[in-house]
Amino acid sequence: MQPDALDDDVVLLTVPADGGYLGVLRTATATLAARLQFALDEIEDLRIAVDEACAMLLVVATPDAELECRFAVTDDALQVEVTVPTARGARLPAESSFAWKVLTALTSSATAEAEDGRATIRLVTQRTGR
């Protein structure tokens, strides 16, 4: 995460790594983006991006894992970091995959890493207008 996020403006959520709990993360995403006064279409794009990132991680998660989501609110951006413990040998989709095309189209930046038994996807969305 970027160091420009204030400690008071960081929200941490942990949910079971199960698709049934992704609605909690989508709602948190929309609420925090609204706090930044994102436009409605930007909020929806970010909700879709977070959902897609989580779906990518659920596929590689260990059984009974927890999905950790860190939201950092800055003056003009929402940074989202989602991480999960991974099954041995699990790999995230290639950056040329449809899922990555969705993430990069809906956010300002999207990156991922998988190491030490964890996979993490980081999304940053800059607000385009006031």
Q: What pLDDT was estimated at residue 2?
A: 47
- H or E element, residue 14: strand 10-16
From 12, 79, 25, select the one nearest 57 (Cα to Cα).
25
Residue 1's pLDDT band (cuts 50, 70, 90): very low
**Pick the residue with more confidence: 7 or 30?**
30
91: helix, strand or coil? coil
Taken in order 44, 48, 50, 51, the sign of the CA dihedral is positive
Mean per-residue pLDDT, 100-110: 93
Tokens of 1: 């995460």
For the chain, the structural domain boundaries read 9-126
Helix residue ranges per DSSP H, the chain: 22-35, 40-60, 98-106
Task: Render pLDDT for 47-104 as a digit per residue (tens, 0 to 9).
Answer: 999 999 999 999 999 999 999 999 998 888 999 999 999 988 888 888 888 889 999 9
Domain 9-126 has what CATH class?
alpha beta
